[in-house]
Structure 1
Amino acid sequence: MEYDALTGWDDVTTAEAYAAFTRAYPMYSASSRDLAARAALPRSRVVVDLCGGTGTTAEAILALAPADATVISLDSSAAMQRIGRHLLTDARLTWVNAPAEHLADHVPAHSVDAVVCNSAIWKTDVAAVVTAVRRILRPGGRFVFNIGGAFAGVAHPDSLVPPAGPSVTSLIQQIAARDYGITPTPPAVPPKLPLPAITYLLADAGLAVTTAEVTGQRTTFAERAAWLSIPVFACPEGPLSYEQKMGILAEATAHARPDDVTVTSWLVIVAELPQAAL
């Protein structure tokens, strides 16, 4: 089976691997807690976890939301949500299986205090999603999300410090080139969602950016390697089977120190709907 990082999420193997990763490693839970802390949740009554997957971000939201709050986790992958329903049984949580762009078809207009989206907005039609978020937010409501550094064209200062050893990506590239003649794909230029572009889309929908911060997240080699074992993230891109990619990853892991740390960059944005918007 071909796995694609944009469209390949509605697959049992991917969903199970992703859920196992989020329970074993802190990458998604830590970024979820960071976003939830920025969303003013203790005074929120209705919160949307957008592109919620198996519920890692919903779990962070539920930890801060009031006892009488309603949390809606919306995702287009039924496979991811089936796992999430077993992992999270909080009565405050409702699951909606739909694309992010169709958010406003499932949530009443001007009814939501906060929308939180972790590690996913660049996989959507961003303009359509922003418009949908604007429609469902109450005046004063917040839209809190992050964009991967490569997609936003930003780098945290700590990410520029050379790692102690070779990165998992560089090792994978070396092995793929040696054994299969596959050369690395150059990064997309320009970045897909730089801050000026996302600020323009938000402003066009009537949302104002209140915070835009570049953060750095520490990631061990072991965690990065485990992340790359999730089928939709397996490298390198190209004609290799998943099994061949896992063979490359296993060899790369054998040549590295699992505790070596790299820093991943994120652009974290908080936007609000002005109180006088309606």
Structure 2
Amino acid sequence: MAPQDALLGWDEDANAEAYEAFTRAHPMYDATSRDLARRAGLADAHLVVDLCGGAGATARAILDLVPARARVVSVDSAAAMQRVGRRALDGHRLSWITAPAERLAEHVPVGGVDAVVCNSAIWKTDTPAVFAAVARALRPGGSFAFNIGGGFAGVRHPDEDTVRTGPSLNTLIHQVAARDHGYTPPPKAADTAPKLPLSMVTAQLATAGLALVDTEVTAQHGTMAEKKAWLSLPLFARPTDGGFTHAQRMEILEAAYALTSPGTPIVTSWLVVVAQRPEDTP
């Protein structure tokens, strides 16, 4: 069934189904999930939280890396995403909690979590509240691994410049919308400062009682075909303004994509952060 002509949000069946299908067909989420899970140090874990876990792409990676005795709890506020995830992943090693990330500590044993992993979603949350909840949930010495999109963090991996071979698909979409539909993009905001730079993250982690352990700017390599599939999801279709229906957005996307080649490489930058609850905290 075609999605409705609206950005209906994460807790909507059409978006959840399309998103889960994307995570299985394309490597982006699996690769970033495995990277974060490895950095979290799960070899001896008993209980791990997949925070903002959606339909379970990161939970799948965690389950592959934790010991057979370990349990994973996936926490997300969107019941539709979890309904989709349960079809393939439900089992005694994985449980699902429908709740906002900010309320994590209300749903897990306080001080009993070995690691928390959050892939591609931390900037959508109230980060000071989430960091405080993670600090309460973690055992002393427990780890917290998450990533922040390069635009939100204000970072850019060098590969973005060395690999780029032409305008981005987003840019082409807006050009086609202007050419064929008279679209005028909104003026850029005067304040272009990153929303969640490392300096802010470090300060918020410290306030929550978490110590910064490691950071790295990484590059996720993909193709133009993968980007097109991503922008086909109702949640991410462009332009987001201008009153376009989903069908019109898909028409614009097809026209923009026709100006590219499917195998054209693209690069996405991420700021990866690993923090820890210090061993000597009460």
The alignment's TM-score, normalised by the length of structure 1, stands at 0.96
Residue deviations 1:159-212 (CA, integer Å, cap 9, x gap):
122622332112101111112332345376111100000000000011011111
Q: CA 1:184–1:160 in structure 2 vs 1: closer, same or farther (change >3 Å)? A: farther
- The residue aligned with 2:14 is 13
- Aligned to 2:33, the other structure's residue is in SS state helix
Partner Cα separation in structure 1 for residue 158 and residue 258 of structure 2:
29
- The residue aligned with 2:180 is 179
- The residue aligned with 2:254 is 250
Unaligned runs of 5+ in 2: none
Q: CA 1:162–1:66 in structure 2 vs 1: closer, same or farther (change >3 Å)? A: closer
Partner Cα separation in structure 1 for residue 163 and residue 21 of structure 2:
30
Partner Cα separation in structure 2 for residue 56 and residue 162 of structure 1:
27
Alignment of 1:214-233 (within 5 A): 214-233=217-236
Asked if residue 272 in structure 1 is aligned to residue 276 in structure 2, the reply is yes
Residue deviations 1:93-128 (CA, integer Å, cap 9, x gap):
000011111111111210100000000000011111
Partner Cα separation in structure 1 for residue 32 and residue 91 of structure 2:
21
Alignment of 1:135-214 (within 5 A): 135-161=136-162, 163-185=164-186, 186=188, 189-214=192-217
Residue deviations 1:232-268 (CA, integer Å, cap 9, x gap):
1111110211111111011112221000011100000
Partner Cα separation in structure 2 for residue 14 and residue 274 of structure 1:
39
Structure 2 counterpart of 1:146, which letter? N
Partner Cα separation in structure 1 for residue 166 and residue 261 of structure 2:
8
The alignment's TM-score, normalised by the length of structure 2, stands at 0.94
Segment drifting more, 167-176 vs 259-268: 167-176
Segment drifting more, 226-235 vs 87-96: 87-96
Unaligned runs of 5+ in 1: none
Structure 1 counterpart of 2:193, which letter? P
Structure 2 counterpart of 1:54, which letter? A
Structure 2 counterpart of 1:25, which letter? H
Alignment of 1:59-208 (within 5 A): 59-161=60-162, 163-185=164-186, 186=188, 189-208=192-211
Partner Cα separation in structure 2 for residue 162 and residue 274 of structure 1:
40
- Select the residue among 241, 244, 248 that pairs with 1:240: 244
Number of aligned residue pairs: 275
- The residue aligned with 2:6 is 2
- C-alpha contact (below 8 Å) 2:163/2:267 kept by paired residues: no
Asked if residue 43 in structure 1 is aligned to residue 44 in structure 2, the reply is yes
- Aligned to 1:197, the other structure's residue is in SS state helix
Structure 2 counterpart of 1:228, which letter? L
- Aligned to 2:48, the other structure's residue is in SS state strand
- Select the residue among 255, 260, 267 that pairs with 1:263: 267
Structure 2 counterpart of 1:212, which letter? T
Partner Cα separation in structure 1 for residue 24 and residue 184 of structure 2:
33
- Aligned to 2:10, the other structure's residue is in SS state coil
